[in-house]
Amino acid sequence: MLLASLNPAAVAAGADLDDAIRIDGVSLSRSDLVGAATSVAERVAGAARVAVLAWPTASTVLALAGCLIAGVPAVPVPADVGAAERRHILTDSGAQAWLGEQPDDSEGLGHIPVRLHARSWHRYAEPPADAPALIIYTSGTTGPPKGVVVSRRAIAADIDMLAQAWEWTADDTLVHGLPLYHVHGLVLGLLGSLRIGNRFIHTGKPKPAAYAEAVAEQGGTLLFGVPTVWSRIVDDGDAARALSAARLLVSGSAPLPVPVFDGLARLSGHQPVERYGSTESLITLSTLAAGERRAGWVGLPLTGVRTRLVDESGEEIAHDGETIGRLHVQSPTLFDGYLNRPDATAEVLAADGWYRTGDVAVIDDGGMHRIVGRESVDLIKTGGFRVGAGEIETVLLGHPGVAEAAVIGAPDDDLGQKIVAFVVGDAAPDELADYVAQQLSVHKRPRTVRVVDSLPRNAMGKVLKKELVQWV
C-alpha cells in the first residue's frame, strides 16, 4: 500500500496514532485520516484527474490522501498561483474539478469540498503500482510549466530509499513548512509521513521560530528545509541552537552554501544531511544518517540508483572528484514523462532509461557527488523554487509597457538566486513585478526589475545573459 500507515484493517485493529498530522491548527489522528480521506475517495472515485489548490491545510491533506486511496491522479496547484498559470495547468492537465480548497477563480470547473468530519469505512483495492499518482507542474527553460507524471511506484520507492538512508521510522516526528505542491514538501514530507507512519507537523510557513518551537515543544526529530530556510535559521542563532534536540536536519532542492552547513553544525550540533533530486527523478542522491556529511556535496546514489557523468559528446567521464560532466540518472523513481509532451520527454529521458538531469556535477572515487551548477542559465532556483526565465519573459512581453525583456537568476545570499528582469519599455518596475505575480505566481515575481535602454546582444541578436549577471 502506498500510504501504508493508512491501512484501514490495521487502524481498525488498533494501530491508531493521535496527532498523526498537525496542520493549520488542526490535528488529525490516523483513524480520522482513514475515515475522512476514504470519504473523499468516495466522492472522486472514477474521475480522470482533479486539481487540488495546495494551501497547507487539513483539507489539502485529505484531498490528496483521498485521491491516492481512490487511484485518481491529483494535480497539485501552487497555492499562490496566478491567472495565466492556473488556466494553463487546468487546460493542460484536463482536471475535471477542484477538490478541497477553493480558488478565487475556478475557471469554470466545479468544486468538491472536503468535509473534515465526514467518515467512510469503505475498503478500496490498492490501485496498480504503475498508475499515475500525481501530475506535478514544473518549469523548463522556455514555455509554460510541464506536467510531470509521477507513478505510485516511484513515490513508494523513493520514500523507502530515503527511509533507509535517513533511518527514518514511525518513531520520528517530521517537521516542515514547505509548500505541498512540490516534491520536497508533498512527496517527501506529507506522503513520506503517511507511508512511514511518523507524526507530521506542518509549520505553515517555514519560519525559524516555528521550526525551533516544533522541536522544543512538539518533539520534532526530523526536519526538512530548503537552503533559504536553513540560512534564515542560522541567521536567527537561537532558532538554530534550539534544533540541537532534533535527530536529523535535511537540506535539499537547491545548493546548501558551505557557511550555512557550518553554521548549523556549530549552532545546533548537527551537520545537515544533504540530498539531491528533481520533480522528474524524485530524490536520487543523499548523504546518510550513518555516514559522512561533507559541506558542498550531496551524497551517494540511494539504493537502486545509478549515475554517470558524460561530456559534450556523450562519453563517460572519470569519477575523480574534479572533472565536471553532465549528470545522468537511472532510478526506479523516474517519472513516466511530461503530460502531453512526448517531444519534451524524449529530450531528457532516453530509451535506455537514463534521465538527463540538466545539472553538471563531479563524482569522487568514493561515489560522493557535488552539484556544480545547471547546464542552462535559463533555469533559475530561487528559494528552492524552479522557475524558467522564458516563462517570465513571455509574461513580461505580454505587458503593453514592455518592448523587450530578459530574465536572469542573480546570486542572492537569502534565496540562492533571485529573479531579476531587465526590460526595455516604459512600464513601472513595481507594476511589472505585480503583473508577474498575478499571472504566474507570487514566488515567480522578479525581486528586481531594471528598465534599460537596450539589452546586450550578440551578432545573432541573442541576449547575453552572462553579461546581464555582471550588471547586477
- Site residues for ligand MLC per CB under 6 A: 178-179, 182-185, 206, 226, 228-229, 252-253, 277-278, 383-385, 433-434, 437, 442-443, 445
* 112-141: contacts with ligand AMP (CB under 6 A): 138
CA distances to 83, 163, 270, 287 from 300, rounded to whole Å, are 40, 15, 19, 6
With CB under 5 to 8 Å by kind, the binding choice for 185 among ligand MLC, ligand AMP, none is: ligand MLC
- What one-character DSSP code corresponds to residue 40? H
Q: Does 345 bind ligand AMP (CB under 6 A)?
A: no
- The residue from 274, 378, 391, 393 that contacts ligand AMP (CB under 6 A) is 274
Task: Count CB-CB contacts under 10 A for residue 435.
Answer: 21
- The residue from 254, 392, 449, 455 that contacts ligand AMP (CB under 6 A) is 254
* One character per residue 285-324, x = contact with ligand AMP (rule: CB under 6 A): -------------x--------------------------
Q: Does 359 bind ligand AMP (CB under 6 A)?
A: yes
If the CB atoms of residues 43 and 195 are measured against ligand MLC, the closer one turns out to be 195
First to last CA, the chain: 50
Give me the least distance between CB of 136 and ligand MLC, in Å please.
8
Three cell numbers written together for 174 = 517530521
> Rounded distance, CA 231 to CA 416, Å?
10
> Rounded distance, CA 233 to CA 431, Å?
32
> Rounded distance, CA 232 to CA 204, Å?
16
Place of cell 500500500: 1
With CB under 5 to 8 Å by kind, the binding choice for 221 among ligand MLC, ligand AMP, none is: none
> Rounded distance, CA 223 to CA 215, Å?
9
Give me the least distance between CB of 203 and ligand AMP, in Å please.
21
Select from 9-17, 91-99, 276-284, 403-411 the region that touches ligand AMP (CB under 6 A).
276-284
DSSP string, 256-274: --HHHHHHHHHHHS-PPEE
Three cell numbers written together for 246 = 532534533
With CB under 5 to 8 Å by kind, the binding choice for 446 among ligand AMP, ligand MLC, none is: none
Q: Which of 107, 106, 4 is nearest to 65 (CA)?
A: 4
> Rounded distance, CA 391 to CA 389, Å?
6
With CB under 5 to 8 Å by kind, the binding choice for 371 among ligand MLC, ligand AMP, none is: ligand AMP
Tell me which residues touch ligand AMP (CB under 6 A).
138, 182-183, 252-255, 274, 276-279, 298, 357-359, 371, 374, 381, 386
